[in-house]
A and B are shown apart, each in its own frame.
Chain A
Amino acid sequence: METMPTNNPTIATCIAKWRLTSSTSLKQSLSMALGGLLLLGMGCAGAETVFVTLEKDNALAVLDPLAGKLLTTVPVGQRPRGIAISPDNKVLYVATSDDNTIKMLDASTFKELGRLPSGDDPETFALSPKGDLLYASNEDDSLVTVIDIAKKQVVKQIKVGVEPEGISVSPDNQWLASASETTNMVHWIDTKTQTITDNTLVDPRPRAVQFTPDSQQLWVTSEMAGTLMILDVKTKQIIKSLTFEAAGVTADKMQPVGIAIDKDRRYGYVALGPANRVAVVNAQTFVVEKMLLVGSRVWNLAFSPDQKRLYTTNGVSNDVSIIDLDSQTVTHSVGVGTYPWGVAVKP
């Protein structure tokens, strides 16, 4: 580590970024960057790390998004799909569907810390805002399993519709929303009583559900109807439903899946699956302002910690697209491995 090569692109990008964001001298920033590098084992201070589950490679891809580089690929278990990072950024949770468990990994060393009793075939899950509970969708059993992370125990199983998939907790921790793909409903689960209080019928095959950061709205995508529905949390009703269009793409190719909404609710981003595009939706007017061409069968989305970039997993082209959100352009595409599925970001 003493003889650091000066042409390392990771370090170069890191230094460039550092210079842009601070007034410290190059020498100082270099030493800080190196210090950070030694501490973290990879990347550098100020740079984030992107984790992508590779469904067919049974592995986790680790990326330096600023350098646009794949750093390493770590074996993680059978058919990894859903992924999330703890609020303190120390623990990665990975649903290894064919191992029927959710694995806890150290977010720096990738050592396995433990396994959570997720029930059969876990695919997607959500963490409570404090990070103490994990809610997993059990697609084959029509259940949502509530897990106490510290105790590694199932607290409750809640019966929902057929093939629950998308799941999200409101940032104010009032509601857990679970969407069932074949029942075509959003189930509203009161987080205090852990029971369903309301059901909203939505368009066919709902995939992702995402609360706005102010907890006022729930955004829901329908893969089959090709719609994005905005639900009002108070009334549980659909207040707006919108479709997507792009030249040369037929309506049935527009299959919305993953959603990301920025912290000020200025823009929401919707992955459109086999349409190979991410829609930029004005989150105040609900007008689709732009369509960004990304890789094939774009699946899930995640923001950088400063929300200046968006990372997409592209299931068929086996890469991650990096979108610069200031200019709303796709800047990089990084090959990661076979069937990239979920994505999480560590600052």
Chain B
Amino acid sequence: MAKSLNLKEKSVFLKALFHTLCFFLAFIFTTASAENNQVIDIAYLTQEKTPPPQLSNLDVFIKNKGIFGAQLAISDNNTTGQFTHQQFRLKAFTVPVDGKVDEVFATQIAGKYSYLITVLPADAVLNIADTAAGKELLLFDAQTTDDALRNGQCRANVLHILPSRSMRADALAQYMMKKRWDKWFLVVGTSAADRLFADALKRAAKRFNRELVAEKTWEHTFDARRTAQSDVAVFSQIDDDYDVLVVADEQGEFGEYLDYRTWSPRPIIGSQGLVATAWHPTHDQWGATQLQNRFLEQAGRAMAEEDYGAYIAVRAIGEAATRTHSAQLPALKNYMLGERFALQGYKGNPLSFRAWDGQLRQPILLAAARSMVAVAPIEGFLHQKTELDTLGFDQPESQCHWNQ
């Protein structure tokens, strides 16, 4: 025990020594040889959110999803940078709930940064991307999942890190095909986001030849005489038999109530039950444990999808800067969208960007609350270039034409 304490003390001392050394080195570099040290400045922009209603006390509202991921990646980039003489700096801007995102962008970011990470909804991303100053920078969207932003509303200056709704729906459909869950009962919430996810699920059903035996909307009609127990049983009693209940409830307003309460015993999949996600606390393969541990140490909580998105965005900039020995936007962007870009994302396959719509190409985790069930693309779904492109809008189907 005493021995291990000594070692720990020693390592703390060494760490302190190292940090002091780093500080002096950084000092020397910034003062003496600025031309030897390329500096890459990255802005991070988000807006505070008000806590939504929660079904479970276990899901604590996290108000700062994203930033710790960006900070961890900056520190990873700088560890590499000490050998390549590149320095990465992050400046975070958080707009209050009643503040204006456009104003903060215009006054504090426009013209000052070439790289911007956003954890913002779709309309805010488009507003920024379409300004004159926005067109001069490269925007990394670490929050949205909208297919529209990757198709008709795509922008040449925006890259999307998290998987789109269609990629997630395809991942789920591949798994259901493997399990021969052929007949789906689709249950959809009333929000616009729920309907978009339902659209993606219906597209996936068609692509993978699944049968949609019924579709119902959960209306949130409350009746004091009823409980969730009887409510769900009555709601899920439909004429046709089905293999699986597929739910689209992105905010989590009722989906958690479905499991164990349906009329027929059927698995729940979609936004609740078995979910499709870019990252998950149960994920421990391909070195993911290392990233989970580093993140936990830094943030004191598990890594959320937005944290992973911001981490990957900053790492992508770092990887491109290291490979091109440049800090310049055209060189880095060109490299990122090129064939040689291969980013380690702790999910087995190398990550890269789809050159036709700016979407990050990546495996998708299919996870239950406490167990990683599968990783899509599911084995057996083939593609002539990369199996990762069996998920979401492939090049021939894409309606994004910013390349021309």
Contact = CB atoms under 8 A, between A and B. Distances in A.
Nearest to A225: B342
B386 A117 contact: no
Nearest to B78: A162
Contact of A159 (B18, B80, B323): B18
B319 interface: yes
Contacts of B106: none
Given A204-B342, A225-B350, A162 B386 contact: no
A205 interface: yes
Contacts of B84: 199, 201
Contacts of B83: 161, 183, 185, 187, 199
A157 B84 CA distance: 21
Contacts of A201: 84, 322-323
B287 A181 contact: yes
Interface stretch (A70-78, A83-91, A102-110, A135-143): A135-143
Interface in A168-182: 181-182
B206 interface: no
B290 interface: yes
A6 interface: no
Contacts of A333: none
B11 A182 contact: no
Contacts of A252: 349-350, 386-388
Interface residues of A, number: 31
Contacts of A203: 342
Interface in B287-325: 287, 290, 293-294, 315, 319, 322-323
B344 A205 contact: yes
Given A141-B11, A252-B349, A181 B80 contact: no
Contacts, number: 71
A23 interface: no
A118 B287 CA distance: 19
Contacts of A182: 76, 80, 315, 344
A183 B343 contact: no
Interface string A200-228: 01011100000000000000000111000
B364 to A, nearest CB: 15
A342 interface: no
A219 B12 CA distance: 34
A201 B324 CA distance: 11
Nearest to A274: B348
Given A181-B287, A201-B322, A250 B76 contact: no
Interface of B: 3, 7, 10-11, 14, 18, 76, 79-80, 83-84, 287, 290, 293-294, 315, 319, 322-323, 342-344, 348-350, 383, 386-388
Interface of A: 117, 119, 139-142, 154, 157, 159, 161-163, 181-185, 187, 199, 201, 203-205, 223-225, 250-252, 255, 274
Given A181-B344, A185-B80, A225-B342, 5 more contacts: A117-B3, A154-B7, A154-B10, A201-B322, A252-B350
